[in-house]
Chains A and B, each alone.
Chain A
């Protein structure tokens, strides 16, 4: 089960800096970061290492099955972010190949 970023997130990107598989978005180097409400974990790429959990300064990251009830929908919010960003990511991957 992947990890999920919930609404207390303050977009401090310490999680993104420590993530070994680069599965957290948006990156502060992207323009999208400047309008981001929070960061999101790609559930399809997360390897469950939990490095982000300790890095988060506001303890906003939970293992999906341990999400507090008020934030269970954030599993879908995180997944949904990448579904909507898929097109953009595909373009980036193509150019970097």
Chain B
């Protein structure tokens, strides 16, 4: 292997989701130093959770792809290499040899578990899996979700929980105009679900959802919203006034949602606050959930806590989604904190045994944990790339790299069916073309074989 000195800084970004692509953007913005970036992605397609996480009925948020992320990927200093999975043919040690610096932006591909009996029964899933499925993620497109139960239960109140509740109750005519996977439309068209029960461990003043997602539930004329356990004791009533502005808005929105008078609602979304699932019931399949009631204690918004009342009830359901947070996975031989599901780091510099690993960085969810909105990753990437550039200025990056041509040759030799940016453009165009015929933004290819076929890349 020959190495040569390159005038431009050579950086690999692993993961083509918002975290990685914002890091690319920050590097391209540098005026004092030229940066060449290779973006490596395990899927044949870029854009991570904007493509496979953001709900299909939120096309506006997906505009960040065309307006920003594609601009970065099309930049002459940037190359996209999709269908490259780290861990077997290409390992972090290879990247360390090939590049001046490597930024891992691999996200959080697992989820937090409830840790209650029955969680592994058929019919109990992570909301994450359902989201990836309806969004046509190739690793989830062969899943089956049985929507024959009249009630679905979602544990957790974050935006993902609201997305799942909205998709499960959404008017099919609305979904037909989106890029939702065709098989998901088919399954949803046979759904018997009339009620989505959202379980919140804490009170209505502590919902994890954001205001926009909550407000959106009020835009449906066919889905009623019901609140349970959202009344306070006379002593606690002043609490609502003491909340900060964002939480006060959420409480006001919840009340507005409940007060709406719909003529003949076809479905309903029920928020049941102060309720924890304690067991998922059923022999092989989910048949119900055993619930424990909680009460709210504390006399200011900062000290609010819950305690179990000991009172239990049961609710019948065939479908339970846990939606209590994503979780990062360990990647190859990189250091990993199991307790937080993140790669240990200081401002984005990866730490091994509390020592900085030179030239190795993280950004996004694998750095800070799964929180925030799309743009949170821009601030996160700014911090990481600042460290990288500081290290460059201080002479802490090694300087010996493989040429861009040699890197591509290595990748092509090790990975079959490498997908470049122009290959991805072919997938993108084909999806959009298919969408035009149906008045949809795109019709997604949902398995690797058809993605690679559309890319024109022989498997």
CB distance from A66 to the nearest CB of B (A): 16
Collect the chain A residues with CB atoms within 8 Å of residue B212's CB: 7-8, 37-38
Neighbouring A residues of B245 by C-beta, 8 Å: 80-81, 84
- A57 contacts chain B at the CB level, 8 A cutoff: yes
A8 and B68 in contact, given A28-B382, A37-B246 (Cβ under 8 angstroms):
no
Q: What's the least CB distance linking B32 to chain A, in Å?
A: 18
Least CB distance from B178 to A in Å reads 15
What 0/1 pattern do residues 369 to 398 of B give for CB contact below 8 A with A?
A: 000111110110010000000000000000
* A34 contact set on B, CB distance < 8 A: 372, 376, 379
0/1 per residue, B240-277, Cβ < 8 Å to A?
00000110010000000000000000000000000000
For chain A residues 24-73, which have a beta carbon within 8 Å of chain B? 28, 33-38, 56-60, 70
Evaluate contact between B373 and A33: CB separation under 8 angstroms. Answer: no
Q: Which residues of A contact B215 (CB under 8 A)?
A: 7
- In the complex, the chain B residue whose C-beta lies closest to that of A58 is B63
Contact residues, B60-87 vs A (CB, 8 A): 60-61, 63-64, 67-68
Whether B206 is near chain A, meaning CB under 8 Å from some CB there, is: no
Cβ A33 vs Cβ B210 within 8 A: no
> Which residues of chain A from 66 to 91 have a CB within 8 Å of any chain B CB?
70, 77, 80-81, 84
A58 touches B378 (CB 8 A): no
Please report the C-alpha to C-alpha distance between residue A30 and residue B237 in the assembled complex, in whole angstroms: 31
Given contacts A37-B212, A70-B219, contact A58 B61 (CB under 8 A): yes
Contact A12 B378 (CB under 8 A): yes
By the criterion of a CB under 8 Å from any partner CB, how many residues of chain B are at the interface?
24
Say whether A4 faces chain B, with CB atoms less than 8 Å apart: no
B211 at interface by CB-CB < 8 Å: yes
Q: What is the bound-complex CA distance between A7 and B58, given in angstroms?
A: 11
Query: Judging by beta carbons under 8 Å apart, are B64 and A11 in contact?
Result: no
Partner of A11, one of B58, B60, B211, B376: B376
A91 to chain B, nearest CB (A): 16
List residues of chain B with CB within 8 A of the CB of A80.
Answer: 245
How far, in angstroms, from A60 to B372 measured CA to CA in the complex?
A: 18
Cβ distance B68 to chain A, nearest Cβ, rounded Å: 4
Instruction: List B contacts of A38 (CB < 8 A).
Output: 212, 373
Residues A37 and B211 in contact, CB atoms below 8 Å apart: yes
Query: Quick one: closest A residue to B382, CB to CB?
Result: A28
**A13 to chain B: which residues have CB within 8 Å?**
375, 378-379
| Nearest B residue to A35, CB-CB | B246
> How far is the CB of A8 from the nearest CB of chain B, in Å?
4
Q: Is A1 an interface residue (CB 8 A)?
A: no
- A57 lies within 8 A of B63 (CB): yes
- A interface footprint on B209-240 (CB within 8 Å = 1, 0 otherwise): 01110011001000000000000000000000
CB contacts (< 8 Å) of A57 on chain B: these are: 63-64, 67-68
In the complex, chain A residues whose CB is within 8 Å of the CB of B378: 12-13, 28
Q: Which residue of A lies closest to B372 (CB)?
A: A34
Nearest A residue (CB) for B374: A10
| Contact of A58 with B67 at beta-carbon distance under 8 Å, contacts A13-B378, A37-B212 already known | yes
CA distance A12 to B249 in the complex (A): 22
Tell me which residues across on chain A come within 8 A of B382, comparing CB atoms: 28
A70 cross-chain contacts in B, Cβ below 8 A: 219
Question: Could you tell me the distance in whole angstroms from the C-beta of A23 to the nearest C-beta in chain B?
Answer: 18
Q: Which 3 A-B pairs have the closest CB atoms?
A: A11-B375, A7-B212, A12-B375
With contacts A8-B212, A13-B378, A34-B372 known, what are 12 further pairs, Cβ within 8 A? A7-B215, A9-B375, A10-B64, A12-B64, A12-B68, A14-B68, A28-B378, A33-B379, A35-B246, A57-B68, A58-B67, A60-B60
List 9 A–B pairs whose Cβ atoms lie within 8 Å, in order of A's numbering.
A7-B211, A8-B212, A10-B61, A34-B376, A35-B246, A37-B210, A37-B246, A59-B63, A59-B67
